[in-house]
Amino acid sequence: MLRLPLALLLLATHVAAIWPRPADFRSGNQPLRVNTSDFGFTAVSPLPDDVYDAIKSTTYYIGGDTLKPLEVGRGAARRSAVDAAPLLREIRIELGGAQKLLAKKRAASAVPRSITSEIQQDVSQLDEAYKLVIPADGSPGTLSANSSLGIFRGLETITQLIYALPGELTTAHYLATRYIWNAPIEINDKPAFPYRGLLLDTSRNFYPTYAIKRVLTVMSFAKLNQFHWHITDAQAFPLVLPGRLSVLSEKGAYGADQVYTADDVKDIMDFAGKRGINVNIEIDMPGHTYMGVVDLDPSLVVCPNQPDWGNWANEPPSGQLALGSSAVDSYVAELIEETSKLIAGPYFAHGNDEVNLNCYNATSKEELDAPYLKPFVEKVHANIQKAGKTPMVWEEAAIDFPETGKILAKGTIVEAWTGAEDYVPKILASNPDVRLIHAPYQAAYLDVGRGSWLGNTTAPSYAPYVSWQNQYVFDPYNGTTVGDPRILGGEMALWGEQSDENVLDGLLWPRAASAAEVYWTGASATTNGQMEERSMTEALPRLHDWRYRIVGRGIQATPIQPLWCALRDGQCNYPA
């Protein structure tokens, strides 16, 4: 372990502006100069291609980021200390433990698993831990991990330690000069939860693939690792599938130029994987079904596009799959088989939320549960497992329909969204084999609070605006035991009724990054030997820093306070 002199520990500032906050962070107060033309990473042993690509990207951001410290003067007073500081020229990359390194030296051709292959497995198998050591004297730093994912997470941390000097950017010296302010540094870091996600609805309004890639890129800056792709809904079916299923997108998409082909999906999967993100595709069923499906076979859909839609659906157009139909069973089996071929990761999400009783002439959930929904979901899960995937469902499948909940496949991930009282223990009690992720709309929905999207009302949105603080104070273990392994984490969600690529950055960022810290850092973190509980006031200056850094990278993230406040930590809080 890096041993810091007591004097340095007393003088060291609070945790550097790293987001999400590391599990264990130790630092001093010695600046280190970084010359971007004379700095690099050295691999101690062979690395996968996507790790080399990540190193190139990290080097690019170190040179390209021009963020100055968020303080009055923007770090001008640091100039003389930086100019006189030791020069950090190298950080060494060590992938694997000592025994693995020895084996690699004996067999130089042995290359470990890629970032992509590691992230595209069940979250229980992920290893994202890393250790970063940067001495104060300019001698080489070390980034070590037992996984490519861990190296990738550590590389992002390194970019957030580095700042530029203000002014004089016309000279070559200051163009190339960056610095680290608080060496020596030792970080031992790993996530508290393995599932840290973001849902994007690309069905109600279409998002081009370049916009999705933009989301994935920023997700990687915040160490988010699961992209929940809500790719279809009643309004549109933009996913192109082969054979007779081609009708779904031909008739169900908004246009031939607003579809996702197999090549598009593979491109997104590959792009995400290299950035430490798994992609989970959702095709909701039996609810949220109309466009495209009704064109394939009208008998597949009940209560289609009813004019009095409020009786038949949560929003227009109405439509649900016809439960108990052999034609529906055949369609669903084929749909799952063909869609699963496009999914590189381990999950297939099928929704099962907002099942409308009126569509089935039912007066109670009990009438629908055991006779119709249970056998439907049983077949859906059998088909998903046959395709080698694990099901994901919304909470209704587990708690609104208890007989259906009992037969959810082993390992099914249930997503809790209503925030209803006691929903966590109810979900966990519904089936001992299910796992849970959080997305309560009161703390996780990024589309709400902007007024109704219905054309003939002045009513407010169904929920108030979710600030970064609303998510930050959320407790993932509320309703269960701290450390419960069945709580996998959670995600933020941007539904698409009033969203498209033109407003994407500002709606997502930096609010979605709030969840990244909740699920990476957990309830507490350790800084210079002192354990501290997660705190909004401590987090605020770091979130400012992260937000201004990604703005410098071209992301149009929404400011969370006036710049005056960002430069004066603590002066824009309510007086005590």
Q: How far apart are CA 49 and CA 56, in angstroms?
A: 11
Q: Is 186 a catalytic residue?
A: no
Closest CA to 197 of 263, 123, 249, 142: 123
Closest CA to 547 of 561, 557, 539: 557
Helix (H) or strand (E) holding 227: strand 226-230
8-state DSSP, 76: G
Q: How far apart are CA 425 and CA 302, in angstroms?
A: 33
What are residue 173's phi and psi, to 5 degrees?
A: -60, -50
80 CB-contact burial (10 Å; exposed 0-12 / middle 13-18 / buried 19+): exposed
CB 74, CB 125: distance < 8 Å: no
Rg (CA), the chain: 25
The three-class DSSP label of residue 344 is: coil
CB 114, CB 148: distance < 8 Å: yes
The CA dihedral of 142, 148, 151, 155, to the nearest 10 degrees, is 130
What are residue 288's phi and psi, to 5 degrees?
A: 55, 45
Q: How far apart are CA 352 and CA 373, in angstroms?
A: 9
Beta pairing, strands 320-321 & 226-230: unpaired
CB 47, CB 154: distance < 8 Å: no
Choose, from 354, 367, 378, 403, the residue flagged as catalytic. 354
Q: What share of the chain is helix, strand, coil (3-state, %, to 5)?
A: 40, 20, 45
Beta pairing, strands 320-321 & 530-533: unpaired
Which are the catalytic amino acids?
Answer: 354
